[in-house]
Structure 1
Amino acid sequence: MTRRVIIEAVPQPGLSAERVRQVAAAHPAVLAHLETADADRLILGRAVDLSREPGERAPFRASVFDPVSNRGVELRGTLDRPEQAEVLPSAYRPNPRPEELRAAAAILRADERFPAGDDVVVYQPMPPLADLENPDGTTVRRPTLGVYTPGGDVRHRIVAVDVTARTVDWSPAGVGVAMHPGDCESHLPAPVESLRDRGGPDAVRLRVLDGGAELWNLVVVRPRASAPQDPGDGSGVELREVRYRGRLVFRQAHVPILNVQYEEDGVTFRDWQNQETRFSATGTDPVGWGWRICDRAPKTILERPDNDAGDFQGVAFHDHGGELRIVSEIAAGWYRYVSEWRLADDGAVRPRFGFAGVRNPRTCMRHRHHVYWRFDFDVEGSDNDVIEQFDGAADAPVGTPIVRETSRRRRPPARFWQVTDKSSGRGYRIVPGGHDNTTDPYGISDLWFLRRRASELYDGNPDGDNRAMLDRFVNGESVSGTNVVVWYAGHFRHDQNAPHPHQGHIVGPDLVPVP
């Protein structure tokens, strides 16, 4: 028997976006609140199944947004009777979809003030929206676009486009944040017109077999469909129902929160992780576009010094040296991120996150990235996990149980943490990565230990400064012999004047099996 990596397409639980559209179009309360009779213009995502065990009567949540009135609602109901869903007003505003950006780019290029030249690039910047409030309290949705003119006196401009009125604001308020006088990064930004989704499944079942033994069995969700979404903006490559040698390890593992803060002026962004961008990967596509089993190591922006392009967009798998890499590259404005998982034959899991960018003056300014993994541990099954913190010397660390929800920082005497099944003693040790650093006041903390709640997948970002609001989930519940979730934060400081070695652009812990 030979070693094999097998992927098979699997359906996503819940209601499709088209089914949500049908429900919304037939629901009088939805159209009345959104003040529209045109259901075709609504922006919708898949209805999220809120139960741990999907079924016909499982509860769901779905967001419905009208870009013309700039208003949204949330549907809450059950999968067997979606037409009876409760309708609640929602303040969530989704980021522009690719088709919305392309429509805005066409309006921008038709504007008489658009610069001449074939080398002008229209790209997606930060922030993604510059909505305008009217005197009567209504708001106008306006996606932002960046205009890069290599030979111009002003090489970068950020504009706002009212797609409905077909107008361009060349100096939108609150968007013209301070810019460095020069450009940084060698990679040119990809034009928004090139961001086209070629389809393919949202998720696959992955199996790694070595001889007659099945090492790994899990579901992999590509970034465009990763949770949380609407509300939320994806989580990179998401893993679900992760089993090692037949034993359950995670119910879910992903990165729901990704933030950046600039030191010089305090500007912050909450970055989205559902926009897949191109990287280099060679191999075969057994289930269609977006899923590639590689015959050599894929190359992301971290390994390609020449351009921000490639022949592939989605999730790539590369099996080498007793470790399977699961890799994707995602875009958020002028940032490029590498979302990666490494599954070792011995059961170790190494989540990794890489940071890069394309040509832009903003990235020249010192800033800090904060990435927050969420590990929904179900070691040997749910509801019987325990957590320990190990302090002291490396050769004789002492474990102390953590029995109530809390947060921790990575600083002495703490060395590592451990989640194990109360009965079997099996589990995983969380060993901090050498480049993960520790938090600053904006990053809040380094780890959170929580009892699992379905409502605590998205932090809500209630204060508006984009920081991770995970402390609001800490309310003293027991985490001893329960179903636990661990949030783990990595922190990366990017200073163009003091560049890190290559590995410094990658953070992530090692999750080591406890036999």
Structure 2
Amino acid sequence: MSDEVRVIIEAVTRPGLSAERVRQIVAEHPEILAELEVAEPGRLLVSGAEALGHDPGDDAPFRATVFDPAGNRGLELSGTLGRLDHTEVRPTAARPEPSREELAAAAAVLRAHPVFPTGDDVVVYRPMPPLADLDNPDGTTTRRPALGLYTPSDPTGLRHRIVAVDVHARTVDWTPAGINVRMHHDCEDTVPEEVDALTDRGGPDQVRVRVVRGDSELWNLIVVRPRASSPQDGAGSGVELRNVRYKGRLLLRQAHVPILNVEYEEGTTFRDGVSFETRFSATGSDPVGWGWRLCTSAPRTIIERPTTDAGNFQGVAFHHDGEQLRIVSELAAGWYRYASDWRLGDDGSIRPRFGFAATRNPMTCKVHRHHAYWRFDFDIDGAENDVVEQINETGSIIPEPAPIIRETSRKRRHPALYWQVRDKSSGHGLQLHPGPFDGTADAFGISDLWFLRHHPGELYDGDPDPRNRAMLNRFVNGESINGANLVIWYAGHYYHDQAHPQPHQGELIGPELIPIP
């Protein structure tokens, strides 16, 4: 029997409503347009409406957002797929990050400004924060995408400035309030790509991936691209895995990173989007179209090639090295660059990984800490009847599992060694082992693990607090998780001090999930 490994990729339909269908619903509901005071639905930014819940059918609930960038107002649409005429509409304070098209329009306004700097080395890039909205005296706000200007040849030594662009009024605010806009120092080595250099050429939002060795199927799962990752009405979640099966056994219904934030010691904080795909290096074929690549050699993100922000590919790349399948994408949030990386071992292990880098910018030289929050929806042999146990260091050769029976949060500290989720009937499950560089939460990071009962609407924490912290404690209300449908949030904390690098600096963080036979 041949021991050859084959990776099979095929496009699959995603349950729910496409962005185009949501736009059509808006056009068919005059009250939605009236609420936003918009006559033409074509100018609205709309998200897709994914079907919520486990194994969603024709009557599954959905949620989507509709946003008017000119009026800077948004609405949330919710209902069930089978009764679109009963869609509920309510205002939302959520403000989507600028789209590729909006950024390109803002860059055109900026370059046409009479005081735009000259020079072939001037770069217009995505900064942080992504928006610099203006509060008006009448209580309204004006939406203004932020743009960074990198001017290395400026005669005064001014290398970075951040401006705000009102796309509809075609005006530029060169000193937006609340943003440190004039900076002479430079962090990192990689020159960023121009803000409008990246395009999205379509391709499927998700695929089914199978890893077959000889005649045996090892892995069977759905992979969702970052641009379409859950929650679609939030900031995305990197490369998302769904319906993960190993040798036919269901392990995870969903696994992704819906929350990513950063805090600087001087007080600045950001909540980063995890859906904007950027370029990295990947060589191979595209079996289902643009954005999906089966590689002949290991893909290389900015983590592996820190001298360039360019590459030959955007989307999700796959590579099997003989022992594991890597699923990789590179994401951009302002000047930050993130590697979203999953490693599925032929032995059934799952290693989620997240890497941190940046292009030239005025901030990351300062001491800061990134916090990545994975969400694991465990469905061991099915959605119900799972239990979670903590394995403590007791000095015994055979440690005694301590069950966790109600929703709670925990920090990684002695005596806890690891945690495990098992199906009560079969005993099969996964152990969750902390990564060696994942750290322990500080006050900003809140906690390290949350053990929760599954609820379809708890895909992320909604609007964060003013300091952009992860507000997952709002989900902890004492519900029983003994024999339930379990969700575990796991946080990794990456400390970055450029002047005093840590031994692991440049490495990826993340836990390891090991199968319980």
TM-score when normalising by structure 1 = 0.97
Equivalent residue in structure 2 for 1:158, among 145, 158, 162:
162
Tell whether 2:384 aligns with 1:383.
yes
Report how far residue 78 of structure 1 moved. Answer: 1.8
Partner-residue secondary structure (3-state), 1:193: coil
Superposition deviation, residue 276 in structure 1: 0.5
CA distance, structure 2, for counterparts of residue 5 and residue 292 of structure 1: 11
Deviation track 1:281-321 (CA, whole Å, cap 9, x = no partner) reads 11111111111111111111011132111101111111013
Gaps of 5+ in 2: none
In structure 2, what is the equivalent of residue 301 of structure 1? 302
**Residues 1:57 and 2:56 are matched in the alignment:** no
Give per-residue Cα distances to partners, 1:154-199, cap 9 Å, x unaligned.
11010000001000000001122795x5212111111111121121
CA contact (8 A) 1:492 1:505 kept: no
Q: Which amino acid aligns with 1:162?
A: D
Between stretches 372-381 and 391-400, larger displacement belongs to 391-400
* 8 A Cα contact 2:205 2:228, kept in partner: yes
Corresponding residue for residue 188 of structure 2: 185
Q: Does 1:195 align with 2:206?
A: no
1:405-456 C-alpha deviation (Å, 9 max, x unpaired): 0111111111000100011111000111111111100000000100001111
Is the partner of 2:431 in helix, strand or coil? strand
- The residue type paired with residue 294 of structure 1 is C
* CA offsets 1:355-382 (integer angstroms, 9 cap, x no match): 0000112111110000000000000101
Give the drift of 1:54: 2.3
- Map residues 131-146 of structure 1 onto 2, 5 A cutoff: 131-146=133-148
SS of 1:362's equivalent in the other structure is coil
What does residue 402 of structure 2 align with?
Answer: 400
CA contact 1:223–1:238 (8 Å) conserved in 2: yes
1:228-307 equivalence runs, <5 A = 228-230=231-233, 232-264=234-266, 266-307=267-308
Sort the Cα spacing of 1:108 and 1:315 in 2 relative to 1 into closer, same or farther, 3 A.
Answer: same
Asked if 2 retains the 8 angstrom alpha-carbon contact of 1:254 and 1:373, the reply is: yes
Aligned AA (2:99): R
Contact 2:158 2:182 in 1 (8 A): no
| Distance in 2 (alpha carbons) for counterparts of 1:394 and 1:353 | 34
Cα distance in structure 1, aligned partners of 2:506 and 2:49 = 38
The counterpart of 2:176, out of the listed 172, 180, 191, is 172
Matches within 5 A, 1:97-136: 97-136=99-138
- Counterpart-to-counterpart distance in 2, 1:443 and 1:201: 35
Match of 1:337? 338
Counterpart residue number, 1:311? 312
RMSD, aligned α-carbons: 1.3
Distance 2:181 2:378 in 1: 41
Is contact 2:226–2:240 with CA below 8 Å preserved after alignment? Answer: yes
Tell me the equivalent position of 2:364. Answer: 363
SS in 1 for 2:15: coil
Do the aligned residues in 1 keep the contact of 2:160 with 2:181 (CA within 8 Å)?
Answer: no
Structure 2 counterparts to residues 481-496 of structure 1, below 5 A: 481-496=483-498
| Mapped partners of 2:275, 2:296: distance in 1 | 26
Q: Secondary structure at the match of 1:277?
A: coil
Q: Which amino acid aligns with 1:38?
A: E
1:323-472 equivalence runs, <5 A: 323-392=324-393, 393=395, 395-472=397-474
Counterpart among 470, 474, 477 of residue 475 in structure 1: 477
Tell me the residue number matched to 1:220.
Answer: 223
**Partners of 1:197 and 1:89 in 2: how far apart?**
29
CA distance in 2, matches of 1:10, 1:394: 48
- Residues in 2 aligned to 1:307 and 1:500: alpha-carbon distance in whole angstroms: 23
1:26, distance to aligned residue in structure 2 (A): 1.8
Residue pair 2:161, 2:182 contacting (<8 A) in 1 also: no
Q: Which moved more, 1:237-246 or 1:71-80?
A: 71-80
* Shift, 1:201, TM fit: 0.8
Counterpart CA distance in 2 for 1:53 and 1:25 is: 29
Q: Does the 8 Å CA contact 1:385/1:484 hold for their aligned counterparts?
A: yes
Structure 2 CA distance, aligned partners of 1:93 and 1:501? 38
Q: C-alpha deviations, 1:207-243, integer Å up to 9, x for none?
A: 000011100000000111100121x110000000000
CA deviations on 1:53-112 (whole Å, 9 max, x unpaired) are: 222222211110001111111111221232331111111110000000000000000001
C-alpha displacement of 1:337: 0.4
Aligned residues of 1:356 and 1:505 also touching (Cα < 8 A)? no
* SS of equivalent residue, structure 1 residue 444: coil
Rounded to whole Å, the distance in 2 between the matches of 1:467 and 1:370 is: 9
Distance 1:150 1:82 in 2: 53
Matches of 1:438 and 1:411, distance apart in 2? 8
- For 2:138, what is the secondary structure of its paired residue? coil
**Contact 1:461/1:467, CA 8 A, preserved across alignment:** no
The Cα shift of 1:501 comes to: 3.9
In structure 2, what is the Cα distance between the partners aligned to 1:26 and 1:270? Answer: 34
Instruction: Decide whether the 8 Å contact of 1:391 with 1:414 is kept in 2.
Output: yes
Q: Deviations over 1:235-288 (max 9, x none)?
A: 000000000000100000000000100002x11100001000100011111111
- Relative to structure 1, the CA distance from residue 513 to residue 503 in structure 2 (aligned partners, 3 Å threshold; closer, same or farther) is farther
Task: Report the secondary structure of 1:208's partner residue.
Answer: strand
- What is the alpha-carbon distance in structure 2 between the residues aligned to residue 391 and residue 113 of structure 1? 63
The amino acid of 2:172's aligned partner reads V
Residues of 2 paired with 1:452 and 1:47: CA distance? Answer: 20
> Does the CA-based 8 Å contact 1:339-1:354 persist in structure 2?
yes
